[in-house]
Amino acid sequence: MFLNRMPRWEVLGEEALATVERGWERLAREIGIRFDHPRALRLFAEAGQTVEGDRVRFDPDFLREAARLAPSQFEIRARNPQRSIIVGGDHMVFAATNGAPFVCEGSHRRDGTMADVEKLLMLTQLTDTIDTPGRNIVEPSDVPLDVRHLVRALAATRLTDRVWSGEVSSEGKAQDCLRIADIIHGGRSAIEERPVLLANINVNSPLHFDVSMLEGLLTYADAGQAIIVTPFLLMGAMAPVTVAAALAQQTVEALAGIALVQLVRPGTPSVLGSFLAATDMQSGSPSFGGPESAIGLAASGQIARRFGLPWRSGGGTLTASHVVDYQAGYEAFNTLSAAFLAGANLCWQSAGWVAGGLGVSFEKFIADCELLDLLHHQFSPVEFDEASLAFGAYEEIGDAGHFFGVTHTLERFRDCFWRPTVATTENYDRWTKGGSHDYSTRAAKRCQELLESYTPPPLEGAVEEELIDFVERRAAELRDPIQVRR
């Protein structure tokens, strides 16, 4: 977890912010949002909003008041207290990429497996730059669909001691994840008192919450867990092509979801989510890392701060590239640096994303962790005091010689500069003698070294057995029996 105390990049003036506000207010009043769940519709009607069929039109002041009920900062407990996270304020929390169906190895693409999930969880546990594995770093295609949520949650619990995210795609799956959390943290009342899970709810943009996401939202809200409401906006596809319109749509969609959370359980931790990228208008494919996305990120942070809400940025180390190349690097950097500049509190998709989110790459995971580490250092305050002026070093050498051997350097040389773990500063001769390895090759080697160093975090034997028994029993009930490795 990183504290970002640098000034925020605020790209919108008051007039522009007022324009976005008029936009989302008009969408709320005149267009409204579709909700595919009777309980959601009933709650909004009881709160005095206009419900016509499955569409809800909102009083903008109602949405503002609901947002005020959510805490501006909150803690989520991990099973290892030192891994607990704080969401809000100056805190930045980073998650691995989530949702990819494929693993990309060089230019080759294959289905993800449970072995891949386990390796990526191990890497998450080993790095100091990723705070949570999220929900599903990659889809394990070799596990039956009905029980994937069980084996993923169990693996996240056994292979890491970090906060993880619950399955949101149905009420039953959400309840299973809550039960796993109950076992770890001492019962339902304990997790309701102090949340232990994240739940990321994606809006089916434009202006639609589907039944599966609403089941997840309502179930986790009942349990008081932390809920991120994230519109999924590709400008030109799920939102208009202008940044202003996309921001207005994003705001009303997120506020509507947060309002529903607060109607279920006032004070439930809620996060204004954003995923704002562009569409290639020639091919129709998503594009990432462009200037429109960076501006949209900065503006999203401003808007979230106006509502006093924690904010999830739309990336991350996003790229459309299929391999770990120059394009992947600059698109990832432009997206991630915008999140730092804008003061994101939760930064999803921060390690491993390739191929527009359809793939996860082990090499990219390692590369992204190095990029995160670089930005952690770059956004940390620099020392400015009398000692840092190094006047004594000038007294030692005068106007001749070098600073390698002066006292000031000898006292600081071990940690005076950031040191990458994958990038190289070797000269040409040494580099060629070592095999002329490019960055991706070195990242693959670093990945293997880390995996070989992995040690599972301690988990009480009785708790682990209870978790395994629950998962095996539920899988049998779902008619996809599994046997968990003990």
| Domain ranges for the chain | 2-12+65-378
- Sign of the CA dihedral 436, 439, 443, 449? positive
pLDDT of residue 171 exceeding 90, the answer is: yes
CATH number for the region 2-12+65-378 comes to: 3.20.20.480
Which tens digits make up the pLDDT trace of 356-397?
A: 999 999 999 999 999 999 999 999 999 999 999 999 999 999
Give the C-alpha separation, 330 to 443, whole Å. 17
Angle at 371 between CA 369 and CA 374, to 5 degrees: 110
Q: Worst-scoring range by mean pLDDT, 106-115, 393-402, 455-464?
A: 393-402
β-bridge mates for residue 228, sequence order = 200, 271
The Cα 216–Cα 200 span in angstroms is 9
Residue pair 35/41 in contact by the 8 Å Cβ criterion = yes
The one-letter amino acid at 279: T
Each residue's pLDDT tens digit, 122-151:
999 999 999 999 999 999 999 999 999 999
Given a contact cutoff of 8 angstroms between Cβ atoms, the answer to whether 229 and 201 are in contact is: yes
Q: Over the chain, what is the mean pLDDT?
A: 96
303-335 pLDDT, tens digit each = 999 999 999 998 799 999 999 999 999 999 999
